[in-house]
């Protein structure tokens, strides 16, 4: 359990469905690549804190498809650190050692090619739903008529009513609707990488399943690479083509597991026997990793 | 901590032992930090006013023409009736309305200048740490200086006319406006900035499209409270003066004092807080209407502006 799992290791448990294998690399740069990334705060002082140590992994860029990678692990294992490093957000970025590459280029700062959806509601309270969704286009200087037309289209795509909801303000929306706005606001910019930091963590279970379906549908449409942090093993198994299991002290990737793709809607898929078996196996693996981490001397 | 809460839950549900029944009646009349009905709140407020008037009436009561029999001499405190008899004189001869407007004009000019300078500079100071550090000594100086001590200085700098009063108010309030604005911008959670960065906003766009608008409700709230402060300061500037009458409520008090009339002073003292309170309520209404997501107003003005700007495409829902 040291360092990161090697690339392409199908550490897949004997699932009922066969886990897919990575297609052979065709020379395309990886969607996301971490090379020996370490983040230490206040290095060399008494307040030194290691967030992640020597994290390396690769998420391939599948042409016209993209894939969803989910990140599971206990609090403080550095899941958010990994995600915010891809986004280029301080203070997690820049890494103390190592480098982060997105589509073959080293990350130098934040940009709209890597969209991010946060767990906390980050709708701009002073803007209407339409104003929120078109924020990024407005920053790019897209003319008002065009960005509003595009904004309305995306409001409809995330399951809101452009006629009724476009002029509403965030405080008039439910939590699920706010996250729909946040997703539309990110996807309208057509990012190649979508970063989601526990976006459904604050939602009730039924809304959560709806949002999972919505995410899968939109992801097929935009063909982007998704990195998704969650605390829920079910969510990680259902959404993930690839699950990264992380461990603490120091934060690192303990295992990388390929998952069969779920092709049914969340409510149907998550009651099937193979799904439960997959969840149980992953759960056992998580517990083993946590037990190993808490063993003395580790 | 957890243990305590776990224990506390069943204890609250269990019936209380005999002899420890809550004083339900007492709690209903005076709930700790509770809400009061409008009628009850009005009753208590009215009782307070009536009480003050009653005390005033009793200590100044006495047969007419025998002032020496009063508990408090009329040269110290005129009676209620005498004071209210002065109302027509204060409104007519002393031009109360005109003087109030003169005072308000000064506050609006001086405080308005503070806002024009302080708000943009405060937003920039919050965003640019170097500017913040540069302005920090001025802020400490401006916030802690005894305001009354500034008055002689402003006579040297700005003469004895209107300009001096406006500039005095500006100097007295700009540091507060600036530092409150900066604090409001620094209070906007970082996640909004992070979101804007991942949506491709530039640094300047983050200031103008995210930090400024999101801090606006807090800034407006600070300005409303500081306006009350400025209204108090203007009185000071009007009381201390050179030369002839310059108008304003402070001047009205000054003139009455020199003529030995107590009644107009008392009336002005009653009127000033009422004007200040009315302005504060009006600003509060404006504030809650402008920022319904923060202060729960109806949002009439934003909706009306949206309707004006976007025309038919959004419906105006009052």
Quote ipTM for the complex.
0.84
**Å between B256 CA and nearest CA of chain A:** 50
CATH of the domain at B154: 1.10.3720.10
pLDDT tens figures, A194-216: 999 988 888 888 888 888 888 88
> By the CB < 8 Å criterion, does B198 face chain A?
yes
pLDDT score of B26: 54
* Lowest pLDDT segment from B9-13, B65-69, B194-198, B200-204: B9-13
- What's the rounded mean pLDDT across residues B251-274? 84
Q: Is the pLDDT of residue B20 over 60?
A: no
- What's the rounded mean pLDDT across residues B121-138? 93
pLDDT score of A182: 92
Q: Please tell me which of A156-165, A204-213, B168-177, B302-311 the model is most confident about, judged by mean pLDDT.
A: B168-177
Q: Which of B200, B204, B301, B315 best probes binding to A when mutated, by most A CB atoms within 10 angstroms?
A: B200
pLDDT band at A6 (very low <50, low <70, confident <90, very high): very low
Q: What is the tally of structural domains in chain B?
A: 1
B179 within domain boundaries = yes
Domains of chain A are 32-123+173-294 (3.40.50.300), 124-172 (no CATH)
pLDDT tens figures, B66-123: 777 788 887 788 888 888 888 888 887 778 888 888 888 999 999 999 999 999 999 9
pLDDT tens figures, A233-246: 888 888 888 889 88
- What's the rounded mean pLDDT across residues B61-69? 75
Tell me how far apart the alpha carbons of residues A195 and B194 are, in angstroms, rounded to a whole number. 12
Q: Which residues constitute the domain of residue B125?
A: 97-253
Q: Is the pLDDT of residue A40 over 80?
A: yes
The reply to whether residue B293 touches residue A169, judged by beta carbons under 8 angstroms, is yes
> By the CB < 8 Å criterion, does B192 face chain A?
yes
pLDDT score of A240: 85
Q: Which of B211, B204, B209 is nearest to B188 (CA)?
A: B211
Tell me the percentage of chain B whose pLDDT exceeds 90: 34
Residue B246 C-beta-side C-alpha neighbours within 13 Å: 21
pLDDT band at B298 (very low <50, low <70, confident <90, very high): confident
DSSP sequence for chain B: -HHHHHHHHHHHHSPPPTT----HHHHHHS-TT----HHHHHHHHHHHHHHHHHHHHHHT---TT-GGGSSS-TTTS--HHHHHHTHHHHHTTT-HHHHHHHHHHHHHHHHHHHHHHHHHHHHHHHH-HHHHHHHHHHHHHHHHS-HHHHHHHHHHHH-SSHHHHHHHHHHHHHHHHHHHHHHHHHTS-HHHHHHHHHTT--HHHIIIIIIHHHHHHHHHHHHHHHHHHHHHHHHHHHHS--SS---SHHHHHHHHHHTT--HHHHHHHHHHHHHHHHHHHHHHHHHHHH-HHHH----HHHHHHHHHHHGGGS----
pLDDT tens figures, B242-261: 666 677 888 888 888 888 88
Which residues in B lie closer than 8 A to residue A202 (C-beta atoms)? none
Q: Is the pLDDT of residue B266 over 50?
A: yes
Which residues in A lie closer than 8 A to residue B192 (C-beta atoms)? 122, 124
The reply to whether residue B205 touches residue A195, judged by beta carbons under 8 angstroms, is no
Tell me how far apart the alpha carbons of residues B254 and B242 are, in angstroms, rounded to a whole number. 12
Tokens found for residue A122:
């980050």
The reply to whether residue B198 touches residue A110, judged by beta carbons under 8 angstroms, is yes
> By the CB < 8 Å criterion, does B201 face chain A?
yes
CA angle (A15, A17, A20) in 5-degree steps: 95
B114 within domain boundaries = yes
Q: Which residue has the higher pLDDT, A21 or B268?
A: B268
- What's the rounded mean pLDDT across residues A130-141? 92
Beta strand A32-41 with A252-258 is: unpaired
Q: Please tell me which of A203-212, A243-252, B191-200, B289-298 the model is most confident about, judged by mean pLDDT.
A: B191-200
pLDDT score of A7: 40
pLDDT score of B14: 45
**Å between B105 CA and nearest CA of chain A:** 31
pLDDT score of A295: 67
B165 within domain boundaries = yes
Question: Closest to A189 (Cβ–Cβ): which among B191, B199, B292?
Answer: B199
The reply to whether residue B294 touches residue A116, judged by beta carbons under 8 angstroms, is no
Tell me how far apart the alpha carbons of residues B184 and B211 are, in angstroms, rounded to a whole number. 9
Give whole-number Cα distances, B223 to B115, B147, B218, in Å: 8, 18, 9
Q: Cis peptide before A167, with omega less than 30 degrees from 0?
A: no
Which residues in A lie closer than 8 A to residue B294 (C-beta atoms)? 125
> By the CB < 8 Å criterion, does A140 face chain B?
yes
Give Cα A115 to chain centroid, integer Å: 10
pLDDT score of A249: 76
Which residues in A lie closer than 8 A to residue B314 (C-beta atoms)? 166-167
| Mean pLDDT value across chain B | 82
pLDDT score of A23: 52
> By the CB < 8 Å criterion, does A169 face chain B?
yes
Residue of A nearest to B314 (CA): A167
């Amino acid at each position: 359990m040291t360092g990161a799992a090697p690339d392409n290791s199908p550490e897949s448990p004997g699932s009922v469905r066969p886990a897919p294998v990575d297609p052979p690399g065709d020379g395309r740069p990886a969607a996301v690549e971490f090379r020996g990334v370490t983040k230490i705060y206040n290095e060399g002082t008494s307040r030194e804190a290691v967030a992640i140590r020597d994290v390396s992994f690769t998420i391939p860029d599948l042409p016209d498809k993209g894939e969803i990678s989910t990140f599971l692990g206990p609090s403080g294992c550095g899941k958010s650190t990994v995600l915010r490093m891809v986004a280029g957000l301080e203070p997690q970025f820049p890494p103390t050692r190592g480098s982060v590459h997105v589509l073959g280029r080293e990350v130098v700062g934040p940009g709209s090619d890597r969209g991010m959806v946060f767990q906390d509601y980050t709708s701009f309270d002073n803007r209407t739903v339409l104003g929120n969704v078109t924020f990024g286009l407005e920053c790019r200087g897209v003319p008002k008529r065009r960005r509003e037309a595009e904004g309305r289209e995306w409001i409809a795509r995330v399951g809101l009513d452009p006629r009724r909801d476009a002029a509403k303000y965030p405080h008039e929306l439910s939590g699920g609707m706010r996250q729909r706005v946040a997703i539309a606001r990110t996807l309208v910019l057509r990012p190649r990488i979508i970063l989601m930091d526990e976006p459904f963590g604050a939602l009730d279970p039924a809304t959560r399943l709806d949002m999972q379906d919505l995410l899968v549908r939109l992801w097929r449409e935009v063909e982007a690479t998704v990195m998704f942090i969650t605390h829920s093993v079910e969510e990680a198994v259902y959404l993930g083509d690839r699950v990264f299991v992380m461990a603490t002290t120091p934060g690192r990737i303990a295992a990388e597991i390929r998952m069969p793709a779920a092709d049914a809607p969340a409510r149907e898929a998550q009651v099937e026997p193979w799904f439960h078996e997959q969840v149980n196996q992953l759960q056992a693996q998580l517990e083993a990793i946590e037990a190993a981490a808490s063993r003395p001397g580790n | 901590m957890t243990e305590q809460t776990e224990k506390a839950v069943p204890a609250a549900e269990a019936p209380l032992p005999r002899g420890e029944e809550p004083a339900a009646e007492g709690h209903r009349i005076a709930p700790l930090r509770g809400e009061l009905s409008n009628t009850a709140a009005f009753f208590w407020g009215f009782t307070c006013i009536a009480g003050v008037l009653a005390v005033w009436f009793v200590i100044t009561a006495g047969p007419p023409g025998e002032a020496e029999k009063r508990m408090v001499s009329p040269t110290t405190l005129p009676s209620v009736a005498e004071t209210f008899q002065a109302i027509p004189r204060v409104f007519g001869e002393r031009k109360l309305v005109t003087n109030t407007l003169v005072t308000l004009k000064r506050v609006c000019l001086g405080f308005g200048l503070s806002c024009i300078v302080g708000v943009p500079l405060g937003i920039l100071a919050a965003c640019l740490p170097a500017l913040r550090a540069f302005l920090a000594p001025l802020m400490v100086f401006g916030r802690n200086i005894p305001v009354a001590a500034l008055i002689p200085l402003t006579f040297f700098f700005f003469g004895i006319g209107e300009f001096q009063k406006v500039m005095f108010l500006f100097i007295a309030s700009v540091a507060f406006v600036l530092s409150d604005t900066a604090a409001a911008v620094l209070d906007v959670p970082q996640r909004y900035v992070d979101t804007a960065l991942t949506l491709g906003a530039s640094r300047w766009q983050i200031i103008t499209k995210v930090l400024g608008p999101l801090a606006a409700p807090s800034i407006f709230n600070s300005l409303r409270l500081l306006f009350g402060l400025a209204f108090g300061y203007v009185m000071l500037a009007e009381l201390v003066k050179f030369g002839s009458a310059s108008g304003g409520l402070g001047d009205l008090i000054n003139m009455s004092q020199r003529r030995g009339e107590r009644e107009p002073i008392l009336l002005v003292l009653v009127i000033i807080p009422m004007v200040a309170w009315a302005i504060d309520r009006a600003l509060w209404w404006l504030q809650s209407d402008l920022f319904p997501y923060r202060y729960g107003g109806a949002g009439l003005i934003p909706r009306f502006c949206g309707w004006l700007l976007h025309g038919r495409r959004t419906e105006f829902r009052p």
